[in-house]
Amino acid sequence: MKIVTSLLIALALTFAGIHSPAFAGDGDPLYVNLTTNESHRASMAISFSKNQFERGHPLTIFLNDKGVLLGSKANATAFPEHQKLLVELINKGAVVLICPMCMKQYGVKETDVLPGVKIGSPELTGNALFKDGTKTLTW
């Protein structure tokens, strides 16, 4: 019934000249581009990600721009809860990538990266971002 309703809405919007919204399938991957080190925004991104991951959506969080600071053990006192949640997500099967160019920009050393966080590359990042059905969000 959910699929029929979604299709009817999409058809109605199409005939009205309005682009149809994207509906996430039950197991569609979620890719979150986390660009901030602002505590509340970062908490929102990680909490939203965690909730969707627990609903069965494969999850990739990309720590980008100032978001790389969340993934550095050197910033453990500034982001203890954020880091705890990121490590918990990794331990449950989520993927957390970190931007190598941003690491360099903000002085994050490879040896300081949280356990389980993967240094991004065109292959790793691209494969997660462009996987069929992936939905993306940015904070």
pLDDT, one tens digit for every residue, the chain (139 residues): 566 566 556 656 666 555 545 555 678 999 999 999 999 999 999 999 999 999 999 999 999 999 999 999 999 999 999 999 999 999 999 999 999 999 999 999 999 999 999 999 999 999 999 999 999 999 9
Domains parsed from the chain with CATH numbers? 27-138 (3.40.1260.10)
User: What pLDDT, on the 0 to 100 scale, is given for residue 116?
Assistant: 98
Distance CA 106, CA 88 (A): 24
Q: CA-based angle 26:32:33, to the nearest 5?
A: 160
What is residue 113's three-state secondary structure? strand
User: What pLDDT, on the 0 to 100 scale, is given for residue 26?
Assistant: 73
